[in-house]
Structure 1
Amino acid sequence: MTAPPCVVAVLGAGDAGEALTVQYAAYLSEARRYGTTEIPPLRETVAGLAADLGRPDVRGFGAWAGQRLIGSVRLRGDGIGTGSGCAELARYSVAPDAQGHGVGRALMERAHAELAAGDVSWLVTGARSDENLRLYRRAGYEETGRLVDSAGVELLRLERLAAR
């Protein structure tokens, strides 16, 4: 497989506006799938995203195609890289026109590179988000629970134990 058409690097608070634009575009398809725009990723603000990226327990990564941000992900948690840490893979977003070209996989691999053997990463995704579920399962994530978010959407919680 060829390399994704992007460069993955650290995402800073100054990238919050662009990251939110990509996040909104990516999550609109989820909103249509579930019949609501009240899902939490569509309610986030630039200020909230920038503040999240400024926290010491959050590591953000972006995928750029030239000057354009086409994807982002945040890894949130304490003890990341210690072998006993637990981190949430959050707001995992790829621009709709960049999906299916390895961008999401590149972001996930970069986030996973922060983890030490024994660290646990977890995420939530919609129970009917088949494309997302295929990607996460290929990356070693397994379902550990179900919940319903504030918009009434059924979510699956998936976890993965880092092996490196």
Structure 2
Amino acid sequence: MSPAPCVVAVLGAADAGEALTVQYAAYLSEARRYGTTEIPPLRESVAELAADLQRPDVRAFGAWTGPRLIGSVRLRGCDTGGGVGTGTGCVELARYSVAPDAQGHGVGRALMERAHAELAAGDVTWLVTGARSDENLRLYRRAGYEETGRLTDSAGVELLRMERLAPR
């Protein structure tokens, strides 16, 4: 049975506890896949998440079904002389999370579309994801992301860096 349609809206610091609960639940499957709970999204605290949501260069969105938060995503600006929405900016798509029981029902796609709507033509969005995270890789490739490099995180997990140029 699919969940009720979700509403995507701005995520604020007051939502940090709920967002962290969803993030932990979503990233536990990644931890199992890679055999470590030391991945950065599982080490973030409520205070760190709330502080991130209050940064002026962060825009965050949550997906709610009724009163329940079922997903979230953050855009973190990495200003290269432009900024998000200018067509010359660079932004990280970070901590993209959907509750396990809500996955596969378009919640992630709705969050990504809302995040991408913040971008101007020519803005570059980048993200990192596990090299063996096949479901994530399919979603990102469908959204126009391409691999631009590989790295290893502090937990020893091989990651792919992917980028997407906002259409002109």
TM-score (ref. length: structure 2): 0.95
Map of 2:75 onto structure 1: 75
Residue identity over aligned pairs, in percent, reads: 91
Structure 2 residue 109 is the aligned partner of structure 1 residue 121: no
Q: Deviation string for 1:55-114 (max 9, x for gaps)?
A: 000000000000000000000003000000000000000000000000000000000000
Count of residue correspondences:
162
Query: What CA distance in whole angstroms lies between the structure 1 residues aligned with 2:122 and 2:152?
Result: 28
Q: Which runs of 5+ in 2 are unaligned?
A: none
Cα drift, residue 5 of structure 1: 1.7
Query: What CA distance in whole angstroms lies between the structure 2 residues aligned with 1:5 and 1:141?
Result: 26
Query: What CA distance in whole angstroms lies between the structure 2 residues aligned with 1:98 and 1:124?
Result: 22
Query: What CA distance in whole angstroms lies between the structure 2 residues aligned with 1:61 and 1:27?
Result: 18
Map of 1:91 onto structure 2: 95
- Classify the secondary structure of the residue corresponding to 2:127: strand
Q: Deviation string for 1:111-150 (max 9, x for gaps)?
A: 0000000000000000000000000000000000000000
- Classify the secondary structure of the residue corresponding to 1:106: helix
Map of 1:65 onto structure 2: 65
Moved over 4 A (4+): none
Amino acid corresponding to residue 38 of structure 2 in structure 1: E
Q: Which runs of 5+ in 1 are unaligned?
A: none
Structure 2 residue 137 is the aligned partner of structure 1 residue 138: no
Query: What CA distance in whole angstroms lies between the structure 2 residues aligned with 1:61 and 1:45?
Result: 18
